[in-house]
Structure 1
Amino acid sequence: MQGRGMMRALLIFFKPMDIPRDIEPSTSSVLVAMSGGVDSSVAAALLQKQGFAVSGIYMITHDDFEQDLSDARRVAAALGIELEAVDLRSTFAETVIRYFVEEYKNARTPNPCVYCNRHIKFGKLIELARQRGADAFATGHYIRLRHTDSGSEVLTAKNTAKDQSYILCMVEPENLQRVIFPVGQFTKDRVRDMARELKLPIHDKADSQEICFVPDDDYPAMLEKLCPELKKEGLIVDTDGAALGRHEGIYKYTIGQRRGLGIALGEPAYVVRLEPHSNKVVLGSKEDLMQKVATVRDFNWLLVPPAEEFRAFVKIRYNHRGQWADIIVEDKDVLVRFEQPASAVTPGQACAVYLPEENAFKLLGGGWL
Structure 2
Amino acid sequence: MPRDLPLNSLGIPKPPEETRVVVAMSGGVDSSVVAAELALEGYDVIGVTLQLYDHGAALAKKGACCAGRDIHDARRVAETMGFPHYVLDYENTFRESVIDEFADSYLGGATPVPCIRCNERVKFRDLLETAKDLDADCMATGHYIRREMGAKAELHRAADPIRDQSYFLFSTTQEQLDYLRFPLGHLPDKAATRALAAKHGLPVADKPDSQDICFVPNGNYAAVIEKLRPGAAEPGPIVDMEGRELGRHDGVIRYTIGQRRGLNIGGLAEPLYVVKLDPDRREVIVGPKSALATRLVPLREINWLGDAPLDSRAEWRVGTKVRSTKPPMEAILRPLGPDAAEVELLTPEEGVSPGQACVFYDLDGTRLFGGGWIWRGY
Partner of 2:3: none
TM-superposed deviation, 1:229: 3.0
Q: CA RMSD in A?
A: 1.8
User: What is the CA–CA distance in structure 2 between the aligned matches of 1:201 and 1:257, rounded to whole Å?
Assistant: 40
Equivalent residues, number: 352
Partner of 1:300: 303
What SS does the corresponding residue of 2:204 show, helix, strand or coil?
Answer: coil
Q: Which moved more, 1:47-56 or 1:104-113?
A: 47-56
TM-superposed deviation, 1:320: 3.0
Q: Which moved more, 1:77-86 or 1:25-34?
A: 25-34
What SS does the corresponding residue of 2:124 show, helix, strand or coil?
Answer: helix
Q: Does 1:337 align with 2:338?
A: no
The answer on whether the counterparts of 1:40 and 1:140 sit within 8 Å (CA) in structure 2 is yes
What SS does the corresponding residue of 2:346 show, helix, strand or coil?
Answer: strand
Partner of 2:156: 155
What SS does the corresponding residue of 2:162 show, helix, strand or coil?
Answer: helix
Please identify which structure carries the higher helix content: 1
Q: 1:254 is matched with which residue: 253, 256, 259?
A: 256
The answer on whether the counterparts of 2:299 and 2:343 sit within 8 Å (CA) in structure 1 is yes
CA deviation string 1:202-237 (max 9, x = no partner)? 100000012111233322111111112311110001
User: What is the CA–CA distance in structure 2 between the aligned matches of 1:166 and 1:83, rounded to whole Å?
Assistant: 29
User: What is the CA–CA distance in structure 1 between the aligned matches of 2:200 and 2:261, rounded to whole Å?
Assistant: 44
Distance 1:20 1:308, change over 3 A: farther
Distance 1:343 1:172, change over 3 A: same
Partner of 2:244: 242
TM-score with structure 1 setting the length? 0.91
The answer on whether the counterparts of 2:39 and 2:83 sit within 8 Å (CA) in structure 1 is no
Partner of 1:368: 373
What SS does the corresponding residue of 1:225 show, helix, strand or coil?
Answer: helix
Question: What code does the residue aligned with 1:352 have?
Answer: V
Partner of 2:221: 219
Partner of 1:316: 322
What SS does the corresponding residue of 1:32 show, helix, strand or coil?
Answer: strand
User: What is the CA–CA distance in structure 2 between the aligned matches of 1:139 and 1:40, rounded to whole Å?
Assistant: 6
Partner of 1:267: 270
User: What is the CA–CA distance in structure 1 between the aligned matches of 2:263 and 2:81, rounded to whole Å?
Assistant: 50
What SS does the corresponding residue of 2:332 show, helix, strand or coil?
Answer: strand
TM-superposed deviation, 1:317: 2.0
User: What is the CA–CA distance in structure 2 between the aligned matches of 1:297 and 1:22, rounded to whole Å?
Assistant: 38
Q: Which moved more, 1:41-50 or 1:198-207?
A: 41-50
TM-superposed deviation, 1:164: 0.2
Task: List alignment gaps of at least 5 residues for structure 2.
Answer: 1-6, 56-66
Task: List alignment gaps of at least 5 residues for structure 1.
Answer: 1-15
Distance 1:79 1:277, change over 3 A: same
Distance 1:229 1:135, change over 3 A: same
Question: What code does the residue aligned with 1:174 have?
Answer: E
Partner of 2:95: 93
User: What is the CA–CA distance in structure 1 between the aligned matches of 2:348 and 2:221, rounded to whole Å?
Assistant: 30
TM-score with structure 2 setting the length? 0.89
TM-superposed deviation, 1:26: 3.5
The answer on whether the counterparts of 1:20 and 1:179 sit within 8 Å (CA) in structure 2 is no
Question: What code does the residue aligned with 1:166 have?
Answer: Y
Partner of 1:131: 133
What SS does the corresponding residue of 2:53 show, helix, strand or coil?
Answer: coil
Distance 1:368 1:323, change over 3 A: same
Question: What code does the residue aligned with 1:281 have?
Answer: V
What SS does the corresponding residue of 1:160 show, helix, strand or coil?
Answer: coil
Partner of 2:63: none
Q: 1:27 is matched with which residue: 8, 14, 18?
A: 18
Q: Which residues in structure 2 correspond to 1:74-93 (within 5 Å)?
A: 74-93=76-95
Runs of 4+ in 1 over 3 A off after TM superposition: 20-24
Distance 1:18 1:273, change over 3 A: farther
User: What is the CA–CA distance in structure 2 between the aligned matches of 1:326 and 1:78, rounded to whole Å?
Assistant: 50
Q: Does 1:142 align with 2:144?
A: yes
TM-superposed deviation, 1:259: 1.9
